[in-house]
Chains A and B, each alone.
Chain A
């Protein structure tokens, strides 16, 4: 490490800031993407079933069966049911995606209810398994709670409660997100997604671009080492990344009321190793690629799996072992864990030590990789 290490870094950082200020495409991406993502994740995307189309084959045609259908409707997840007259019609609706659920109520339903052994049949469209599983559970819950004793011919003892609960009652609550909105889940990781995009796409182009225009060779001719160039290039992006992160967090708070419940300080601290590791990966990509088109390709196809495997879209706890461990190699995995703890669950510094250490280790590994790959190469 030369005596002029720090001033060399500062010089490269200054030059990089000047370049960035004039890059219109880059500024556009930085400003457009947060808005698009905020709208998508805040308003549009959700795993929570809604507007579920369904069909009912009601052979019973009794007040009891109609009450059952009404109680399913009352959950609020369903559209008004389509009445059908036979199984063939119901299956056809499922096949054509005009119904997700087909409920068949037997002819003897009313009598069965009075005798205490009622059953209904439920056919689900398995081609959409996630929705099918959830909707099946909702209808199952309605069925379990269905008051089979309320039929007027069967007046219960007046001192007994009308509703006879099962052997165990459950009282459940969803902490941190009482109405279980997917919005809170996504937006808590919004910063992480935006920063991954920013760091990778901006950084990966940086070095290749310089190599293409020949300015990289010029910099090598100066008394700066390769690692000084890299660190100098990182510095301005760290600033942009922090600005973007604050913007995303404040927007989620101002628009959707999702302010961080935990410590702002912890959020700011844990962002640093994440940004450094992501930028480092961008540099590494840039060192691997020979043209800027290649660099962009590699970084896009790094961003995609990191969104999927890190668990920002889909909980990593669901993934099978092996795939889950691969996801741990992406910085976004650890950052989304930390930011969800802080933003949603109100965690402080103590609870995010592990993700922070993991991010630091990832940064060190990436830096070693960059150092190995960045030997001065000309031509």
Chain B
């Protein structure tokens, strides 16, 4: 395993299970939303508004504190020929290798698990909301009900018992696949090659490259159009990569403030 891909080791786990994750193959998603329901049922995530959005069959709208799996529906003209092309994709937390939410959390409530995933410890989170602004995917949200931040845990409780996450278990087409990330990445690359071979030239992997702006995702996707069409950022970069420079500039600004005070006061001595 590439060292950069082992966030659990970087977090201090010496003897840990392989990094686990999702591969969501949207080419076989049928938009049944079983993943959304299974997630809510298993994790006791509250209902969050039964409204019609007008966005095709998507009445969930986005990921939030109370939605940890979200199925997107995109209606578009078929790329070749007449008719409708209907894209469906189940979105989820990316469990980034370089996770901005975890980096900026001031209480340590967000933590890396031995599986390399990122979870919120609800008994520690004080609802500061910093993670919400830091996530480049708009995944994590703060609950209006309990004031805390919540997101997908990759069913941490199930993983500990050797079970697969509820959404993957419920998916009837194996659009949501769960397993060791290395195996999933190989499977994903094979699937893209197969799709390209049968003429699905738009098939592309998302979040599978460890050299990307988040060090690779723990939840990768096979998409049939550009990421932004699904509401995903095309080239996300973890904000903390620029943090050393930000601290240096802030130190320079602080120094200039001292200099201004010295000038203002020294000039007054004469």
A and B interact = no
Interface residues of B (CB under 8 A from A): none
| Residues of chain A at the chain B interface (Cβ within 8 Å) | none
